[in-house]
Amino acid sequence: MSAKKILGQYFTTRYTWLMPQVEEFIVQSKCGVAYDPFAGQGDLLQAVTGLGDIQKLNGLDIDPKLNWKLNDSLMGIPHINNAIIITNPPYLAKFSAKRKKIADSLKHYYQQSGFVDIYQLALFNCLLSAEHVVAIIPETFINSRFPQRYRLAQLTVLEENPFTDTENPVCVACFDGRIKPAAEIEVFKNDSYIGSLGDLEKHRLIPRNNLDIRFNDINGQIALRAVDSPDPRSPIRFLPRGELVYDLKSIKDSSRLITLISLSAEWDEAIPQIIQISNNILSEFRQITHDILLSPFKGNKKDGERRRRLDYKSARAILEKAMGATGLLKGNFKESYYEEKESLLNQR
């Protein structure tokens, strides 16, 4: 079994992660030591040599072949005065470890921490060791409930891959040790500021689960292609059942990328309207949130933008809003954000 597979090693050989706002964060930390407890080949330390007040480099690693001081940083990270941690910790989700049949060699990490991915334990230990931390971590972090999330100062979603050996979608998370409201946490996409984390959270899709909507039902009236194709002209989309070009026998209870969705028969005549409104809601949501709240999918589209996946929880929320906008529901169902069904129907 390779160290890459067991230890979750992916080496950051490109400097595309060092965006101007990340560089400014490192400079403003005024730390004199760049410290990587998962140092690997030392690429991150080399990238920041001489930046701001940094005069000294310090690295640790669990792999004796890498010529750093040995340390299992998933068990603990020694504190160093005046240091900013700059790291690309290992990533390995618990379910992936099971699929790769290496869970036994890593189970003590999951059991001890309660985290579902090794990177979360690594990040937690980094934040115990230092106030200032810059970490290249899976982009799914933005939708996680990581306990120290509000120590973030900024988060940068990277669309250009900093790795040569994986397409895992990543972001750069910069922590400054101060707990703060989401409105003070800056979010960037590449080198462009798109708003605060608080701004984004206002638009998160949360279903009410008060309507009969069933996913992965081969008798469903609505099809959902829940992942962007590499072609920008073929994005995530709700479709009439008859327009889905796919072997319906392949739809299983576990399907997450292409599915059929059933509504109760009373909605049959409104299905075309619901599909249209749902796509308008999805389009507006993607524009307002700059796609950041949709799950990342490996690889980019041909135009360079990150492919995204619509999870079924969010898809349910969209359908609920669309069904409310048809005017067929009684009561105060509609929310102010999508109140005007006329504007949704007239969007192009």
CATH number at residue 138: 3.40.50.150
% of the chain at pLDDT higher than 70: 84
Residue 17 lies in a domain: yes
- Burial call 178-208: b when 16+ CB within 10 Å, e when fewer: eeeebeebbbbbeeeebbbbeebeeeebebe
Q: 15 and 154: one domain?
A: yes
The rounded mean pLDDT for the chain is: 87
CB atoms within 10 A of CB 18: 20
Residue 89 lies in a domain: yes
Q: 113 and 20: one domain?
A: yes
Q: 287 and 193: one domain?
A: no
Torsion angle of C-alpha atoms 129, 10, 42, 177, degrees rounded to 10: -20
Residue 94 lies in a domain: yes
* Domain stop point among 201, 229, 260: 201
Residue 207 lies in a domain: no
Per-residue model confidence (pLDDT) at position 145: 86
Q: Please, are residues 308 and 296 in contact by the beta-carbon 8 Å criterion?
A: yes
Residue 208 lies in a domain: no
Q: What is the pTM of this model?
A: 0.85
* Domain stop point among 173, 201, 229: 201
User: What domain range is 233 assigned to?
Assistant: 213-346
Mean pLDDT of 231-246: 94
Q: 247 and 182: one domain?
A: no
Q: Is 60 exceeded by the pLDDT of residue 344?
A: no
Q: Amino acid identity, residue 281?
A: I
Q: Please, are residues 167 and 119 in contact by the beta-carbon 8 Å criterion?
A: no
Residue 66 lies in a domain: yes
Per-residue model confidence (pLDDT) at position 105: 59
Q: Is 60 exceeded by the pLDDT of residue 326?
A: yes
Q: 192 and 252: one domain?
A: no
Per-residue model confidence (pLDDT) at position 108: 67
CA distances to 59, 65, 131, 277 from 62, in Å: 11, 9, 23, 53
Q: 13 and 144: one domain?
A: yes
| Confidence band for 294, pLDDT divided at 50, 70 and 90 | very high
Angstrom distance (rounded) from CA 284 to CA 348: 11
**First-residue to last-residue Cα distance in the chain:** 52
Higher pLDDT, residue 339 or 125: 125
In this structure, what are the phi and psi dihedrals at residue 135, rounded to the nearest 5 degrees?
-130, 130
Per-residue model confidence (pLDDT) at position 1: 39
Q: Please, are residues 9 and 40 in contact by the beta-carbon 8 Å criterion?
A: yes
Q: 173 and 261: one domain?
A: no
Higher pLDDT, residue 331 or 107: 107
Per-residue model confidence (pLDDT) at position 332: 45
Angstrom distance (rounded) from CA 279 to CA 271: 12
From 3-17, 166-180, 205-219, 332-346, the region with the lowest mean pLDDT: 332-346
Q: 263 and 182: one domain?
A: no
* Domain stop point among 171, 201, 231: 201
CB atoms within 10 A of CB 47: 19
- Number of domains comprising the chain: 2
Nearest alpha-carbon partner for 165 in 5, 275, 26, 274: 5
Per-residue model confidence (pLDDT) at position 177: 87
Q: Is 80 exceeded by the pLDDT of residue 263?
A: yes
Token pair in block for residue 176: 């400054």
Per-residue model confidence (pLDDT) at position 249: 87
From 84-98, 121-135, 227-241, 333-347, the region with the lowest mean pLDDT: 333-347
Q: 235 and 297: one domain?
A: yes
Nearest alpha-carbon partner for 84 in 142, 130, 153, 17: 130
Q: Is 50 exceeded by the pLDDT of residue 309?
A: yes
Q: 185 and 291: one domain?
A: no
| Confidence band for 92, pLDDT divided at 50, 70 and 90 | confident
| Confidence band for 55, pLDDT divided at 50, 70 and 90 | very high
CB atoms within 10 A of CB 46: 12
Angstrom distance (rounded) from CA 305 to CA 312: 22
% of the chain at pLDDT higher than 90: 72
Q: Is 80 exceeded by the pLDDT of residue 13?
A: no
From 6-15, 199-208, 334-343, the region with the lowest mean pLDDT: 334-343
The tens digit of pLDDT for each residue in 136-177 reads: 999 999 988 888 889 999 999 999 888 766 678 999 999 998
| Confidence band for 67, pLDDT divided at 50, 70 and 90 | confident
From 6-15, 69-78, 110-119, 170-179, the region with the lowest mean pLDDT: 6-15
Q: 248 and 193: one domain?
A: no
Per-residue model confidence (pLDDT) at position 106: 66
Q: 186 and 89: one domain?
A: yes
Higher pLDDT, residue 135 or 113: 135
Q: Please, are residues 45 and 23 in contact by the beta-carbon 8 Å criterion?
A: no
Residue 206 lies in a domain: no
